Structures are given as structure tokens and as C-alpha cells.
Amino acid sequence: MEMQKNQTAIPEFLLVGLSSSPEHQMVIFGGFTLIYTAALVVNFLFIFTIGNCSKLHTPMYFLLVNLSLANMLCISVTIPNMLHTTLVHRKTISFWGCMAQVYLLLWALGTELLLLSFMAFDRYAAICHPLQYTVIMRKEVHIGVVAGVWMAGSVNSAVHVGLILRLSFCGSNIINHFFCDLRPLLSLSCSDVSLNETMAYISDAVFSMGSCMLTLASYSFILSAIFRIRSSEGKRKAFSTCSSHLLVVSFYFSTIIYTYIRPTSVYSQEEDKVIAILYSVVTPLLNPLIYSLRNKEVKDELKKLTHKYTLRINVR
């Protein structure tokens, strides 16, 4: 009955987008089309490269493949709909389409957070326990953990959407954002959202803060191990194996934690749109670039694949 009430009261939401100015629409459409295409291409190439190189079939690269899949899911949830509404000049999304966006986005973000923390543990095992690494990160362990990570992200997003469906939306249907997100929806509800906010804090503590603490703990052990290495070359090599991950983690965690830990009372819609672009659009593009450009093995394999397919094209 409550879900029917919501659907009857507000059958669709109006997404304001990034700009209401007509002259900015084509610039936004062209820019985000380019970013979205580039993100899909670089993530696909990254996955394809790892899949075609047997020496890259290690736990760390398996985690990176799943991170790329989560990146592609995250950016595909928001950008295609935004491009469509910009092109047709009708910035609406159905009630259930909005719920689907919230579910898929939270699933992707939660999964990414847990994957990043487990990647930090992988680096800890590789650097601090190199002789036991193959035992610690054996196949059944890393596959089981990744499956659990995706499942945990799905359950978390399902809880949030389920709680949203209990709310009433009897006032404005205007969302000052370019996609449906948790905070903008809670600010529109005419029901008591205290339970939703409590669950958001709990979720943030478990996923964001918990993952951040696990990552920091792993890196504290890693740095301690690196400082005990006597040769400067050994220190450089050990640090290079985790520098890319540390760069991604610091950027991604800061934006996600800041976005979802704030109470609705201090929610800033314009500020949130800028931050949302960073974690839902920029990060999915930067992650594979950071890991490939700063990784000699991936760069070497990319060169081999490029050379291989160039020769095939020339032969034809």
C-alpha cells in the first residue's frame, strides 16, 4: 500500500541536470559523451589486456578486473540517462527508474569500496608475507571474497532502496541533480527520514569508514615492512607495487565518505553535483589509466597486443 501511494503521488521525477542553460546543453552532451566512451574503452582494454596475458592472471589483477567492472557499472548507471534527457530535452525519470538508479549506483559504489580495501590487504600479503602469499591469496580465497564483496554491495543497496519505498513523496518532484541519488531523494520526502539517515550512517561506517580503516591498517604494516628493507632499490620496488592503489584510494574514499556521511540538514545540492562527477564519472575513467600507466607489466602487454593486431590489419 505504501509503495502504491508513492507511485501514485509522484509517478516520475524531474532531474534538473548540471545546467538549465540551453547554450550549455550541447557542450555538456559532447563532453560527457566523450568521457563515457573513453571510460568504457579504457576499462574494456584493461580487462582485455589482463585476460589475454597469462602472467597477469594473479589475485591482484583479478581484483583489478572486478574494479573495472564496477567502474563500468557505476558510470553506465548515470551518464547514458543524462545524455538521453539532454538530447530529447525532457529531463524526467520514472519512479521505478529512479529506484533502479539508486540501487545500481549504491551497489557499484559499495562494491568498489570493499574491493579497494581487499586490494590493500593483497598488497600487505605480497609485501609483508611474500613466501606465504600464494597460500594466503589462493584461488578459492580471492574468488570467494570477490563474490562476497559483490553480494554485500547488492544487499546494502537493496536495504536503502527498501527503506526509500517506505517513504511518501507528496510534494515537489524536482531533483536538483543529474541522476537519482540517496541524499536528493531523502530531502524531497515528506516522511520521517531518520531511519534512512541512520542506515546511511551505519552503511557509511561499515563500507566507507570500515574499508578506509582496513586500508590504513594494511598500509601501516606495508610501510613498516618497506622501511625495514635495507636497499633503496628494494624500497622503491616495494613502494611502486602499491603507489597506484594508494593514489586511487585517497581520491575515491575522500569523495564517497564526504558525500554520504553528511546529514540531510547540511546537504548542498550544487556542491554534491560536483563531488558526484568526481566519484561517478571521473574515477571510472582515471582508475584503469592510473593502474595501466604506472604498471610496467600492463604497459608491456598493451604494446604487444597493439603490435599484434596492427600486424594482422596490415596483412589483411
- Are 237 and 219 contacting, i.e. CB atoms less than 8 angstroms apart? no
The more confidently predicted of residues 314 and 80 is 80
Phi, psi of 227 (to 5 degrees): -65, -20
Separation between Cα atoms, residue 191 and residue 96, nearest integer Å:
19
Per-residue pLDDT, 8: 43
Per-residue pLDDT, 24: 77
Per-residue pLDDT, 103: 95
The more confidently predicted of residues 9 and 281 is 281
Per-residue pLDDT, 5: 46
Instruction: For residues 259-265, give the mean pLDDT.
Output: 57
- Are 87 and 28 contacting, i.e. CB atoms less than 8 angstroms apart? no
The more confidently predicted of residues 10 and 178 is 178
Per-residue pLDDT, 144: 94
Instruction: For residues 151-180, give the mean pLDDT.
Output: 89
- Are 28 and 18 contacting, i.e. CB atoms less than 8 angstroms apart? yes
Per-residue pLDDT, 156: 93
Is the model's pLDDT at 253 over the cut of 80?
A: no
Is the model's pLDDT at 316 over the cut of 80?
A: no
Q: What pTM does this model have?
A: 0.85
Domains in the chain (CATH in brackets) are 2-315 (1.20.1070.10)
Closest CA to 254 of 211, 197, 203, 199: 211
The more confidently predicted of residues 308 and 136 is 136
Instruction: For residues 161-186, give the mean pLDDT.
Output: 86
Mean of all residue pLDDT scores within the chain: 81
Is the model's pLDDT at 232 over the cut of 60?
A: yes
- pLDDT category at 39 given cuts 50, 70, 90 is very high
Instruction: For residues 184-212, give the mean pLDDT.
Output: 84
Is the model's pLDDT at 4 over the cut of 50?
A: no
